[in-house]
Amino acid sequence: MCPAPVSDGDRRGYIIPIGGGEDKGLEPAVLSRFVEIAGGEKAEIVILPTASTLESTGPLYEELFDGLGAASVRSMPIATREDCNDPAHVESCEQATGIFITGGNQLRLSTILGGTDVAQTLRRVNAQGVPIAGTSAGASIMSEHMIAGGEGDAGPAEGGAVLAPGLGLTNAGVIDQHFSERYRLGRLISAIALNPFLLGIGIDEDTGAFIDPDGVAEIVGSGTVTIVDGADLKYSSAHAANRKEGLGMLGLKLDILHEGCRYDLNAREAFAPGEG
């Protein structure tokens, strides 16, 4: 699924995958930057807590964004596919200046949102300029190919990553979250083995990749973002590997970006702070 087309005169909105565990204290850099991009004091933010089964998730982010100075904040009680086709929820997304997808279970997100009116509206309004952020599961679902499962703390292996369809806000890569904290490098490389042209984007907790309309990501937060690029792979055993067998992959490129670094997803080029 490709991102929705951008009409003449429009600019695509930011796509902001966050690795989960974002700072919610006195100086929440990642969340503050999202509010700024969404309009600051004029921001009208809609929260989608669908991935979570906790009733407290939506109100928690309402309180956080209200405290960061947004003009209005609303959590939409979307728990079923029927809810996703409610015209009132569609209208709320159309009127928002920023949309935030919370963490939880990404398969819950994909099975409830996938193919619904709300999902199509998210794609459309992002193409019209509305920034969309997602944390943890909300980050994973942003890509066309979503990592739905797989073992952490293990090397790259056949079957090491389970993929499912995502929202398709970007088709440049596949996104994993809680990355360093849950030792998910092997899982991300396993996903890239299935399609080496994809970029693997592994995002640590309290860290966001702020991807601008030109496809350039700026890193914000206390952790790092790991980029795995398999475009120049010269050998892979993925096609012949038996179930759970370790993978051989030669020619992978790895970049690790901290706050202030940028990465051009189209040119596949990383920049140190102040470069470019």
Q: What is the identity of the amino acid at 200? A: G
CB 65 within 8 Å of CB 35 = yes
* Residue (of 106, 97, 79) closest to 20 by Cα position: 106
In whole angstroms, what is the distance from residue 102 CA to residue 44 CA? Answer: 16
In whole angstroms, what is the distance from residue 49 CA to residue 230 CA? Answer: 33
Helix H or strand E segment including 211: strand 207-211
Cα dist. 106→33, 121, 252 in Å? 24, 19, 27
Phi, psi angle pair for 82, to nearest 5°: -60, -40
Active site residues: 136, 178, 205
CB 136 within 8 Å of CB 104 = yes
